[in-house]
Structure 1
Amino acid sequence: MKVVVVYNMKSGGNKSLNDLKKACDAAEIDVEKYIAVSAKLRANLKPYIKKNAVIVGIGGDGTLSAVAGMLAGTEAIFAPIAGGTLNHFTKDLGVDQDLESALGNVAKKRLHVIDTAVCNGRVFINNSSIGVYPSSLQVRERFEGYIGKWLAAIMAGFHAFFSLRTYRVKINNEMINTPFVFIGNGVYDISTPGIAQRTDIKHGTLSVFVAKTVSRWKLLKIALLAVIGRAAMLDEFDVFTTKSLTISSRRARLSVSTDGELGHEPTPLKYEIQPKSLRVYY
């Protein structure tokens, strides 16, 4: 099988280009081109997307999301491989987390057509959130170079908790004022302890979790019950499935987390599901 390999040397599970070449050779993969993630990624990938090539993406969720955004709506085929820290996307698809095993199985995988989602036209493959989490990311990024990642994360969490802003969400003809919104691509189950688990990425729907309170202590209660999979029992927490939603604010731009990457988008934010928009080997 002839493929194009996109790799990110800065991802959490990074390997050198020489290591990647050795792994591809060992897996008997015919690599037409190795392309490093850079500002020129779209331009560098464009001729291969036009040829409907198989694009192997190696990196964390942010890298895979960026590549998926370029392939969505085309006939090119995406073969995602874990190369980051959390690797939610590849885990949800059941892709081997070991690089060598995943490369060796690329040619054996079946072709699936899955959903993607967009925020103001920007594609994401896992989830997006507004409020507490992106606010804490912004503060963490500002300070982690001085005091370290984990101490900065703790400081950021306290800052976000005590400086809440509210947003207006229009979903399924209902209007909700909230300090926190989670939008997932696909069907998510929140009844299991820990983080929400995605159970379907081909259903043509967004899963939306909304806090229906601005009380800090009730938000803390939601967070604590979410850890044990019991947040849905609270009246102050609601779960929706929808094809689209709109988030508005008095601010011209909002901090938005998409697939773990912090960005800033003009308001209103318009989210939509893109059913069967990405061709994937897994």
Structure 2
Amino acid sequence: MTPTAASAAFDESAKTLAADAPFFIVMNAGSGRRQSDATRSVLERELGAVGRRFELRVVDDPRRLADVAREAAAAARKEGGVLVGAGGDGTLCTVAHAAHDAGCAFAVLPRGTFNYFSRDHGIPADLDRSTTLLLDARAFPVQVGFVNGRMFLVNASLGLYPRLLEDREIYKRQFGRSRLVALWSALSTMLKPHRHLRLHIDHEGSTTEIRSSTLFVGNNRLQMEQIGMPDEARALEQGLLVAIAPRPVGRLMHLWLSLHGAAGRLSDSDHVVSFTFEHITVTHPSKKRRLVKIATDGEIAKLQMPLEFRVSDKPLFLLKPEPAEAEANRS
């Protein structure tokens, strides 16, 4: 596969940070006060013990997360430091967006349920290990995607998938956060009535109309591998994104496709359309500038059509293990 212009632009060397670069850590308190206290304790033990300066900003109101992240990113850029996100993929994406805009290095302390972004880059889920990694890791360029002006690290979607996420949050509030609760919620949503979208997709000079319950755009190699799409996973390393759309099928077939994905066999199905791209524009056949629900890394927003999905022409510089170690850590 020929590298794209975007991937060629990412052929930059990893950056070694100054030995005294400070860390500006933004954490979403929605994960719980106990988790916030535990994170602070580990930071004081691992970073404080070696005299490394850090500042932890715990955000109690999720609506302020983006503003706090931008303030911390400005401080990191001014002082040659690192902006660190502590949380799940949604929190990490918001904080990463601020780092990307400010042009400062970014690091993560995984504190979520699935942690697709950190796992894909070989960052340990263990808080002690991921904190220790901050001290000597280099910053490597990694690919990010955008839909209109909204960044995503793992995936973006419209249609049924945002509904799955909304229902999952309801189940989590009732039964707690776990992968089993997320799976049960997904099965319940799949069995409810849903309508199919009619979309026009402009890609490389041609327009294709699709009917589907959802349009899913992936930017995570681990997630693509887990659902059984290895060729698409490799395309992500060439500066491309992956679009996936199930063909119009009934609820039971949707459930069957989901089980195929969970078993890592989605590419075996004839009921799924997929393609890779650098840039696509998605419109409704009526051409009306309507608002649609979009999910980016688990967070829901309303964006106005047309929707432009694209690979960013500027990488995010992420602190992560050296390539061989990162590959060994992926799980």
TM-score, normalised with respect to structure 1? 0.84
C-alpha distance in 1 between matches for 2:227 and 2:30: 31
Paired positions, count: 280
C-alpha distance in 2 between matches for 1:101 and 1:191: 25
Say if 1:271 and 1:225 are closer, same or farther in 2 by CA, change over 3 A: same
1:58-207 → structure 2 map (5 Å cutoff)? 58-141=86-169, 148=175, 150=181, 153=185, 157-158=189-190, 161-172=192-203, 173=206, 174-185=208-219, 187=221, 190=224, 192=226, 202-207=237-242
Instruction: Output the amino acid matched with 1:238.
Output: V
C-alpha distance in 2 between matches for 1:113 and 1:18: 28
CA contact (8 A) 2:225 2:233 kept: no
Q: CA deviation at 1:136?
A: 2.8
Say if 1:176 and 1:272 are closer, same or farther in 2 by CA, change over 3 A: same
C-alpha distance in 2 between matches for 1:207 and 1:188: 13
The answer to whether residue 46 in structure 2 is matched with residue 15 in structure 1 is no
TM-score, normalised with respect to structure 2? 0.73
> Deviations along 1:172-198, whole A, 9 cap, x unmatched?
333322211110125567465679895
Q: CA deviation at 1:129?
A: 1.6
> Deviations along 1:125-177, whole A, 9 cap, x unmatched?
111122222123334546765x5464992685156x41223140415333322
Identity %: 24
Q: 1:232 aligns with which of 267, 284, 301?
A: 267
C-alpha distance in 1 between matches for 2:225 and 2:130: 30
- Report SS of the residue matched to 1:123: strand
C-alpha distance in 1 between matches for 2:121 and 2:102: 20
- Report SS of the residue matched to 2:238: coil
Aligned to 1:260: 298
C-alpha distance in 1 between matches for 2:229 and 2:212: 20
Q: Answer with 83-92 or 34-43: which moved more.
A: 34-43
Structure 1, gaps ≥5 residues long = none
Aligned to 1:44: 71
Structure 2, gaps ≥5 residues long = 1-19, 321-331
CA contact (8 A) 1:114 1:202 kept: no
- Report SS of the residue matched to 1:7: strand
> RMSD between aligned alpha carbons?
3.1
Q: Answer with 193-202 or 242-251: which moved more.
A: 193-202
- Report SS of the residue matched to 1:138: helix
- Report SS of the residue matched to 1:90: helix
C-alpha distance in 2 between matches for 1:229 and 1:184: 15
CA contact (8 A) 2:194 2:213 kept: no
Q: 1:280 aligns with which of 318, 321, 328?
A: 318
Say if 1:189 and 1:135 are closer, same or farther in 2 by CA, change over 3 A: closer
> Deviations along 1:66-111, whole A, 9 cap, x unmatched?
0111111543100112112211111111011111111112122122
The structure richer in helix per residue is: 2
Instruction: Output the amino acid matched with 2:28.
Output: N
CA contact (8 A) 1:77 1:281 kept: yes
